[in-house]
Amino acid sequence: DTEVTQTPKHLVMGMTNKKSLKCEQHMGHRAMYWYKQKAKKPPELMFVYSYEKLSINESVPSRFSPECPNSSLLNLHLHALQPEDSALYLCASSQGRQGARGNQPQHFGDGTRLSIL
Amino acid sequence: QKEVEQDPGPLSVPEGAIVSLNCTYSNSAFQYFMWYRQYSRKGPELLMYTYSSGNKEDGRFTAQVDKSSKYISLFIRDSQPSDSATYLCAMRTNAGNNRKLIWGLGTSLGVNP
């Protein structure tokens, strides 16, 4: 079991549905990430939150809307998705501070497998 | 040319073999190097994390970084069937607030009993 918990594990939704993916960590990490991973590909960064503020948006379509309600929680709100958005969505976290002493690796959850009908 | 090159395999070895997995990279500014293991239908699991050049050992796993050659390796000793997974290398610079990892494609490893 990982220390980053994602729910649900599986999600099937239609193109007109609205749903949310949830991520929780209790390691005291202050940076949290959303990734998208397609089969046989590495994870692809979508968003980064640092100290609950959005710091990186990798030009992700607006049908994906991230939210960081507090330092332990990260949500990804989904609306009007397309079939090509079917993928494994991964959440990760790392310690907040950067710099030579503070660079720490990212720890991943097991993801939500999303299928768009 | 991709920033990080990794042979996707698949690589198949007998149980007990020494496995060598490698990545090459082109950006000399990379300072932090990671190896992740990913089982089917699971998230990537951090195996090794190294800063700059040198070796790091953890149980049956050894990570090596050769910055002069822009080459990193992961060695697995006494490989087990449970090591069958995809191994991803990732790396990043030390610049400012950079948090973006640059990934290899991943190498699929099968260890046969």
CA distances from B44 to A88, B29, B66 (A): 12, 24, 24
Contacts of A33 in chain B (CB under 8 A): 99
Instruction: Answer whether B99 sits within 8 Å of A107, measured CB to CB.
Output: no
- Residue B54: the pLDDT is 86
- pLDDT tens string A68-112: 999 999 999 999 999 999 999 999 999 866 554 456 899 999 999
Of B31, B46, B105, the CB nearest to A42: B105
Instruction: Answer whether B34 sits within 8 Å of A42, measured CB to CB.
Output: no
Residues of A33-50 as b/e, b for ≥16 C-beta within 10 angstroms? Answer: bbbbbeeeebbebbbbbb
- Residue A95: the pLDDT is 86
Neighbours of A71 (CB within 10 A): 18
CA-CA distance, B109 to A34, in Å (whole number)?
A: 26
Measure B46 CA to nearest chain A CA, in Å. Answer: 7
* pLDDT tens, per residue, chain B with 113 residues: 789 999 999 999 999 999 999 999 999 999 999 999 999 999 999 999 998 888 999 999 999 999 999 999 999 999 999 999 999 999 998 876 677 899 999 999 999 99
- For the segment A7-25, the average pLDDT, to the nearest whole number, is 95
Neighbours of B99 (CB within 10 A): 18
